[in-house]
Amino acid sequence: MVAAAVAGAAIAGGVAKGAIGAGAAGSSAKALQGGLTTAANIEQKFYESQPQNFQPYISAGTSILPQMAAYPGQTDTDLQKALGYQAGLMPQIPTEQDVSNMPGYSFLLNQGLKATQNSAASRGLGVSGAAFKGAANYAENTADTFWKDLFGARQQQFVDAGSLFTNTYNARNLGYNQLATLGQLGEKSAADLGNIGQKVYSNIGQDAVGYGQAGAAGITKQAEAENNAITSISNAPLSYFGAQNYFGPTVTGQAATPDQIARAGW
């Protein structure tokens, strides 16, 4: 029957299209999922290779932390020692005894007094008042010179002790900064590694979402294609009766003519 042939052709065509569409949708989804899986694996391997590059710097920064923790306490101890040393050198006003105990003072005084007395004697002054006055002036000037030298030396020692405090502070500060540089290097390396990990796993998460979406899209396309095939089957009776009405009962049991096929749009 021509009507049956028409209905059969419609069914076969719809089912074929549905099968082809379903297969293509499934293949496309699997291909996309495969690409996303490959990308995720590459990103995972890349991240796994990074810790060995950052670990030396992280380890250096971590190993320095105990020293950094103890450093302020040791700095305080050293500065207290420097302050104590300076305080012990606070300039004291020299006494007469201090001047007398200065190296060379007694020798210079005695030699000067002798020279003064000899000078007075050579002028015929002997033990006159002028001679005594000259000796007294010499002794006073000598003591004054040694006193000033001694007090100046004590002041300089105090200043030098102050420089020791400053130098100690600067040295300790420099040392801490050097340790801190290593610590900061380790901290930055750890942060950089963390940022890489965050980026990589964010990408992997996006790949996983894309994987799921690709699968869902493939399922949807497959369902649409299969639904089209089912629709073709369910429309078979309509195709049959439509063809029968179109060709008429006179063609029952006869093959469709070329003219009929042309009018049917086949």
**In the structure, what pLDDT confidence band is assigned to residue 116 with cuts at 50, 70 and 90?**
low
User: Can you tell me the mean pLDDT for 210-239?
Assistant: 60
- pLDDT top residue among 135 and 177: 177
User: Can you tell me the mean pLDDT for 122-134?
Assistant: 59
pTM of the model: 0.48
Question: Is the separation of the CB atoms in 18 and 228 below 8 Å?
Answer: yes
Q: Which two tokens stand for residue 25?
A: 């949708």
Question: Average per-residue pLDDT in the chain?
Answer: 74
**In the structure, what pLDDT confidence band is assigned to residue 3 with cuts at 50, 70 and 90?**
very low
pLDDT, one tens digit per residue, over 57-73 is: 899 889 988 998 999 99
User: Can you tell me the mean pLDDT for 215-227?
Assistant: 61
- Between CA 76 and CA 174 the distance in angstroms is 14
Q: According to the model, what pLDDT value does residue 130 have?
A: 59
**In the structure, what pLDDT confidence band is assigned to residue 250 with cuts at 50, 70 and 90?**
very low
Q: According to the model, what pLDDT value does residue 255 have?
A: 52
DSSP code per residue over 147-213: HHHHHHHHHHHHHHHHHHHHHHHHHHHHHHHHHHHHHHHHHHHHHHHHHHHHHHHHHHHHHHHHHHH
The residue ranges of every structural domain in the chain are: 2-264
